[in-house]
Structure 1
Amino acid sequence: MMIVREHSEDLRRIVRRVNQSLAGFALLAVSLCSASSAFAQATGIEGTITDSKGGVIPKATVTAKNERTGKTVSVTADSQGHFSFASLPDGAYDIDAISTGFGVAHQVAVHAPASLMLALPIGQATTDITVDADQTHSVAAALAPMDALLSETSARTEITGTMIKNFMSPVADYGEAVEMAPGTFTTNGNGVGLGQSKTNFRGFPDGDYDIKFDGIPWSDTNSVSHHSWAFFPSQFLGGIDFDRSPGTASTIGYAPFGGSINLLSKPFSPIENVRGSVSYGSFNTKLYDGEYDSGNFGPGHKFNLNIDVHHLGSDGYQTYNFQTRNAGDIQVQYKLSDKTTITGFSAVIWLDANTPNFNATRCQMYGAGANYTCTGTNAPFAGSGINFYLTNNADPMLYLDYQYNYYHVPTDFEYVGVHKEMAHGFILDFKPYTYNYDNSEKYSNAVPITDNAALIGTTYAPLGVKITALCSAGGCGVDKYNSYRTYGETSQLSQVSKLGIFRAGMWYAWSNTNRHQYPSDPLTNWTDQALPNFKETFVQDSYQPFAEYEFHPTSKLLITPGVKFSYYTIGTKQYADNGGKIGGLGTNNPASFIANGGSYFATLPSVAGNYRITNNWSAYAQYATGTIAPPSSTFDFTQSSTGTPVATLPKQQKTTTYQTGTVLKLKRVTLDLSYFNIHFGSGYSSFTPLNTGEPVYYPTPPSITQGVEAESNISLTHGLSLYLNASYDDAKYTGSAITYCTSSAAGCTSTTPTITTPTPSGLWVASTPSDILTEGLTYQHSGWDAGIFNKTVGTQRLDDGGFHNEATISPFTLTNLFLNYTIRGTSHFNNTKLRLSFNNIFDEHNITGDSISTKAKANTITANGTSYADPFNANISQAPAAGADAITILPGRSVMFSATFGFGPKGR
């Protein structure tokens, strides 16, 4: 029994131990299950924020939103752009990153934990609240100097800050910043950034498109033109959104006719930094620039500040065409709250230049040629000065004395922007602004003149030039003034809902202009004659209310119909003149004036759509209309003392644009391709009938331009990529045009048209190249940024008044090379850079512009018994060029070396 009890006791001890062990295992299992459950329910997401080129962006705000619960959490990236969400429930998350001056980067983390790389796009020029989210991880897109957007609804090119900073001269202006874009070319005869550059795209010259700065339209007031050297040099720019279309209804401006060049201010830096630059190069060009970024500072780090000041001086490529520019801009941002941001901008430029008011003739440039002859008055061109023959000049070369030509142009541009997010998805953007242009210019007429009457008609032997005018008789110089001040505002109210985004707003601008030109004598301290060539003041009002709805019927499709109304009014006060514009008003009293005015209205509908085929491939289509109001010269005609106002004003000129295209972003290749068909509404000409002083306006031939544009960036290897774009255009006149006889000798006795010319269909639209090609090779790696870009502009046809396709400009090519090295990291000297720029590296001197002189025409038409040269006959023969046509050429090779020294607190 004892043995049995002992064994039973042992058995109970074993059972207890087994039970204890099972309980331990059970407890361990429960613990492990709990831990496993906890591990499955709590995890992390981390990543890095960069810009489009891979540089880290510190202090960005990153938000994670759980797609199932809708709960959001936010963190701030550190100084190296790294962020981390330490513990999040498992699931899919929408990750959004944003930083001041950049757009939003978006990714979806489907299975946490995850490690992400988010690249922030550059900020947009418009007030759109949606930003194209690049989820493609395309290396080619990250390296592209210019690129398209997957979300675009028209042909657009985003010109990056990297392109501006690394792949163009430090003295470039905004015109030269867009010259490598598809279908685009820019010309400037005095050297990069050293004169008024003019940009053309798709056959639209300056004056046929908008230029905006941070969404604000600006323009000259007597016509829709722009002064590239007096506003917004490259030091003020952070990027460019180039839309080659009239845009949607919310695209505002003086001329949403051909497109919009949307200039963007520089993004605010979250890090404090000081930079100083010294540049020197060809034509004795010097540039000194200083820039300060404050980083976020003040209570709550809600303030940010950027200041840039610079001085530019250059002799210019053309002889005696010097330029001096002193300029500066300041940007301030204050985050009043998480939902309200106030931004201020101010820029001031003080420009002095010696640019004359004319170009050299073919004879002056080259002398006599095989198909033209030159007279003694066309001396070989030795500079941009005027042919002065003064008896007190010991040096015969002082006939080009440059002191008789100069500009003095101060400008300023200011705005305050308010961005406020409100309840129920409403967002308000409001931006009042003002800018001023004040051009005081003195220049001499481009004829040989003297201060000695005895020399008139004689020949200056050293140059073989005949002296033709006496300066003291007046008229050998011009005292010119053009000043205007504009006030305006842009406003937009947006509302975001599940179905899309509604936008409504208005642009309003008021301008006051004072202009005159007086014949003047530069040899007597610029004494003006009593009567001017013209003198006028005028006030303009521009209104453009708009409404559009960006409808999202599916997650992949958006359709944006809208309408814009364009109102434009002008009231002029024109003073008596010497017959240059309106005449003496019966009394030749310089104090007498006549008032004229007019109002214009246009309705501009549009509809555009974008379909996201896949995450990295989209297609778009657009129908858009644009307009230009007639210039102030509408009222420039001979008037009596009582005045003869225009009874029937010309209508606003309009375009209708149809576009379709596609954007694709693969890992190693980007491609955007577009087709466009543009119907140009007629411009207007006028004549004054015999029986009245009032002009009659009639349409000039309309035209259709159609073509294709392609743009691509190909990542080859290790930061090396090939950029390509090409455009092929077919631009032809259509319809017919009417001309009116204006002389009783031609049998004209009334306002009835007496001559109807044949249709000019098939004739090429002037100044529209047949093709434009760009090739670029860039290397961006380990602090090195190198690039070579080659631009070829195809054949252009030229018109001379009513004579179409009278001459051509042969194709020309421009090749630029850039080498840069930047110190990057966290040292005090972060962003210190060395730059070497070569423009026109092969020293080409091709003709880029020609004001063709009048030539005799072989074919005629007859009306009322009188023969007339036929301006629209495609088979007319051309007489040899007279040699008096003024031409412009590519400026010669220029080289610029620049050193930028950066300094910032270490570790920030």
Structure 2
Amino acid sequence: MPPRSRLPSRTLIALAIASTLFSATLAAAPTSTDHAATPAIDAPASTAAPTPAKKHRKNPNLLPEVDVTATVIDSSRLPSVTPLEARQPRAVVSGEAIRAMQSPIAAYTDVIALTPSVNDAEPNGSGMGNSTGLTIRGFSDGQFNLLMDGIPFGDANDFTHHSVNYLMAQDMGQISVDRGPGNASTLGYATFGGTVSMDSRDPSTKAGARVYGSAGSFDSYMLGGSLDTGTMQDLGGLRAYIDYRQLTTQGYLSGANLRRHNFFFKAIKPIGDHTQLTFASLVNTGTGSNAAIVGATSYPYVAINDGTGPTSNLPGQMQQFGKRYGLSNDPASQAYTGYNFDTVNTDMEYVRLTSDLDGLHIDNNLYTVSDYHRGWNGLDPNGGNLNYGTGNGPAGSTGDGTFPVGAGSTNGTYYGPGNVPGQNMYMLYRNWGDILRMSQDAGPGTLRYGVWFNKQLYHRYQIDEDATNHWAWNGPSREAAFAGSKKDRRIDGTFSTFQPYLEYDWNLTDALTLSGGVKYAWFKRHDVAEVQEKVGKPQDYSQTWSKALPALDLHYAISDSWSAYVQAAEGYLAPNENLYYVPDPGASAASVKPEQTTNYQMGTVWQGDDFNFTADVYAINFNNMVTKKKIAGITYFQNVGGVQYRGLELEGSYLIGDGLSVYANATYNKATQQSDNLQLVATPKYLGAVAVLWNHGPWNAALTAKYTGANYGDMGTDSSGRDIGIYRFKPNTITNFSVHYTLPDAVVLPAGSRLSLQVFNLADVRKLNVLSGYTAGNVPLFYATPGRSFMASFEIPVR
């Protein structure tokens, strides 16, 4: 068994002065340390922090944690804000909002779930496992960028992500979601369906420390501490921030435990008057069975999928063992928790130099990123035909009558018919790269240019083993074990990316800016495989893809409070490694063009003292959609048609008074396949969110609700052969509540200490919401919404 290892109002000026004076009166008993993130120097459009819409907007970097009830809406506490400077539909969630509404152990997927057009599922609970079914306008994980401090992340094979392996809520400065391919300077593997950008907190200029922790449902515990050095004049103005925490949880689903260690360090050092050096490091380790969860069977779909989405009267694992069933505790089962275990180690380090040299601005980021994923699993977890994974009946038997006849997986290995078959895998990759961005005034505007280069080295391995026999190879030799499965692999490869760009912001008037540019995207993948997946033989093959991607947008500042934009741009998706999983990858690659999108978007943004409103419409044409077809047991890939995306997105907030405000968004996302006009799977046409927010003195509270419309888990055919959606998921609304109290005076605990209570899924909704895949016998597996849970937290400043 593997080891576990712009112009300010007089009212707000007076309020700001009063707030500052109020803060000064508390100097003898300071509030919590100022950790808020500050915008990076000339950060790229896709990652820069939003500047206030007008100078009278509240700045979260200047106000203390203990609020004075204001007469203007505080955008920093809203679930999502679109800045006036936006040139495409964009949602920004501040660090303050993250810590006011999200679980202390939340991942970025939890944070963006309330923003327009985002759909997400967290089957094991917030921050307790990887997100599943995450989509933006119907684009799934792997079809959009993920950046951290401007650095692209993505798995080696398909650019998907392990959501619980990155920044935690305490270190998030802000998160933004760009719903579109961005401009020419938007870099990444998948400028196809949008960009999610996580920006880390900057070190505070004030020295301080804090201890924090949480305890909640499912035996969830977290304890951590952070230290800000403040500005150290003796070291030339150096300031640094360090944070470390540990998390343990049993998870909502049975057997889906997680132990996590997360470390973050960031230091900023000015060099002269015009240059700044930043160093940051993130190290994360996650171990447990949470990543190994594969879903469970559920009534009324406990039947072999024949393409028609059949129903049956058989109860599923969720009915037999409850909606919390994930893995079993029986060592005789392939679903045994002890046989399904993963460890993922992630790190990111970068050195960023920003400088202004006589009108030339330089921003260079040299970095390395790695993700080392090792795992063990049963060959077909939850695919047994007797007592739902707690045992196995003979092949073709009816078992105990709760699994389709002939669909159950049975035990048996090289070492014996009762031994439990399993797999051992690893996917290890490291990136080395550099992002250079430069800008300068040129004529009536600003010229921006730069280049991104990244080289990824990856190693992928999977082999059949005997879980019962101490994970011995399932055969007399390693070669024999490899030969026993078309899913096994041993691949060493590289994936190189080169993206230079050039764009110009032309100030036609003081209020009207036309921006245009082009980016050249070049990718090369090279596999050297001892055993290529699904081929079962050695393979040495490389392929390059490239495309020039233009972008054009027009931004109009109608007034200090009102702006509008229109954008046209192309998106591009780097090729997936699965194109190589055929005997002749050259023929496969020649028949498949990279997927790309052409995006047209227009919108408007209004930001007032007590009312914010954003609206946009979009039309996206997705070309060269890749599909697969199996011939004689071999999967081949080809381009067929595409998808049309059409939508409307609305977002607004209103200050009622006395610290009470409301927020809402509503989206209509139509994403239909051109071949049959069917809505894409896992893409609800209707999404929405509502929040009621209250901030008064030391108290702040939030009641949020996320609505997800009906959608389908997969495509099938009816009796006449017509395409249909199958496995329908009903509309779903999840409501959460958070309340926080910050001590204005020292009472047992120091002033500035914060106590919090959060309740997730108030109504205890437990509907099916994601098709997770199929068993080896082609029986569908599902996830359901995790039930009601609680989290109590504290944060104590240390002086």
Q: Please give the TM-score of this superposition, normalised by the length of structure 2.
A: 0.84
Counterparts in 2 of 1:701 and 1:825: CA distance versus 1, 3 Å? farther
Q: How far, CA to CA, are the matches of 1:240 and 1:648 in structure 2?
A: 39
1:364/1:378 contact within 8 Å kept: no
Q: How far, CA to CA, are the matches of 1:463 and 1:659 in structure 2?
A: 50
Counterparts in 2 of 1:561 and 1:528: CA distance versus 1, 3 Å? same
2:144/2:194 contact within 8 Å kept: yes
Partner of 1:306: 241
- Partner amino acid for 1:384? G
Partner of 1:768: 683
Partner of 1:786: 701
Counterparts in 2 of 1:130 and 1:272: CA distance versus 1, 3 Å? closer
1:186/1:197 contact within 8 Å kept: yes
Counterparts in 2 of 1:770 and 1:169: CA distance versus 1, 3 Å? same
Mapping of residues 835-874 of structure 1, within 5 Å: 835-850=756-771
The higher relative CO (CA closer than 8 Å, separation ≥ 6) is in 2
1:125/1:214 contact within 8 Å kept: no
Partner of 2:189: 254
1:660/1:675 contact within 8 Å kept: yes
Tell me the secondary structure at the aligned position of residue 139 of structure 2.
coil
**C-alpha offsets along residues 212-261 of structure 1, whole Å, 9 cap, x if unaligned?**
01111111110121110112222331111221110010010000111111
Offset, 1:883? 10
Mapping of residues 38-57 of structure 1, within 5 Å: none
Counterparts in 2 of 1:291 and 1:545: CA distance versus 1, 3 Å? same
Q: How far, CA to CA, are the matches of 1:422 and 1:57 in structure 2?
A: 40
Partner of 2:720: none
**C-alpha offsets along residues 107-129 of structure 1, whole Å, 9 cap, x if unaligned?**
xxxxxxxxxxxxxx998875769
Offset, 1:371? 4.3
Mapping of residues 163-242 of structure 1, within 5 Å: 163-198=97-132, 199-242=134-177
Does 1:903 pair with 2:786? Answer: no
CA RMSD of aligned residues (A): 3.7
Q: How far, CA to CA, are the matches of 1:122 and 1:99 in structure 2?
A: 20
Does 1:479 pair with 2:414? Answer: no
Mapping of residues 144-155 of structure 1, within 5 Å: 144-155=78-89
Partner of 1:29: none
Offset, 1:186? 1.5
Offset, 1:204? 1.0
Does 1:412 pair with 2:347? Answer: yes
Partner of 1:885: 780
Partner of 1:561: 516
1:367/1:380 contact within 8 Å kept: no
**C-alpha offsets along residues 799-825 of structure 1, whole Å, 9 cap, x if unaligned?**
337854234221111111000012358
Offset, 1:419? 0.5
1:141/1:713 contact within 8 Å kept: no
Counterparts in 2 of 1:764 and 1:647: CA distance versus 1, 3 Å? closer
Counterparts in 2 of 1:595 and 1:688: CA distance versus 1, 3 Å? farther
- Partner amino acid for 1:726? A
Tell me the secondary structure at the aligned position of residue 429 of structure 2.
strand
Offset, 1:777? 0.3
**C-alpha offsets along residues 284-305 of structure 1, whole Å, 9 cap, x if unaligned?**
0000011111111142751111
2:297/2:316 contact within 8 Å kept: no
Partner of 1:581: 534
2:282/2:349 contact within 8 Å kept: yes
Q: How far, CA to CA, are the matches of 1:496 and 1:353 in structure 2?
A: 52
Alignment partner of 1:664 out of 597, 606, 629:
606
Query: Is 317-326 or 400-409 further displaced after alignment?
Result: 400-409
Q: How far, CA to CA, are the matches of 1:185 and 1:288 in structure 2?
A: 30
Partner of 2:65: none
Partner of 1:729: 669
- Partner amino acid for 1:443? N
Q: Which runs of 5+ in 2 are unaligned?
A: 1-11, 29-33, 59-71, 483-487, 718-722
Alignment partner of 1:537 out of 492, 497, 501:
492
Q: Which has the larger radius of gyration?
A: 1
Mapping of residues 274-289 of structure 1, within 5 Å: 274-289=209-224
Alignment partner of 1:833 out of 733, 746, 754:
754
Q: How far, CA to CA, are the matches of 1:774 and 1:822 in structure 2?
A: 27
Q: How far, CA to CA, are the matches of 1:56 and 1:658 in structure 2?
A: 48
Q: How far, CA to CA, are the matches of 1:251 and 1:609 in structure 2?
A: 17
Partner of 1:609: 554
- Partner amino acid for 2:289? N
Tell me the secondary structure at the aligned position of residue 780 of structure 2.
coil
Counterparts in 2 of 1:147 and 1:600: CA distance versus 1, 3 Å? same
Q: How far, CA to CA, are the matches of 1:648 and 1:331 in structure 2?
A: 45
Q: How far, CA to CA, are the matches of 1:183 and 1:830 in structure 2?
A: 40
1:713/1:722 contact within 8 Å kept: yes
Counterparts in 2 of 1:289 and 1:410: CA distance versus 1, 3 Å? same
- Partner amino acid for 2:222? L
2:329/2:337 contact within 8 Å kept: no
Offset, 1:784? 1.2
Counterparts in 2 of 1:235 and 1:325: CA distance versus 1, 3 Å? same
2:579/2:589 contact within 8 Å kept: no
Corresponding residue pairs, total: 732
Q: Which runs of 5+ in 1 are unaligned?
A: 1-45, 60-77, 81-97, 105-120, 391-397, 586-592, 735-758, 855-881
Offset, 1:461? 7.1
Tell me the secondary structure at the aligned position of residue 187 of structure 2.
coil
1:314/1:323 contact within 8 Å kept: yes
Partner of 1:595: 540
Offset, 1:436? 1.0
Partner of 2:6: none
Alignment partner of 1:808 out of 728, 738, 745:
728
**C-alpha offsets along residues 322-369 of structure 1, whole Å, 9 cap, x if unaligned?**
110011110011011220000010011111011335210114999999
- Partner amino acid for 2:608? L
Offset, 1:542? 0.5
Q: Please give the TM-score of this superposition, normalised by the length of structure 1.
A: 0.74
Q: How far, CA to CA, are the matches of 1:406 and 1:902 in structure 2?
A: 37
Offset, 1:550? 1.0
Does 1:522 pair with 2:522? Answer: no
Mapping of residues 331-350 of structure 1, within 5 Å: 331-350=266-285
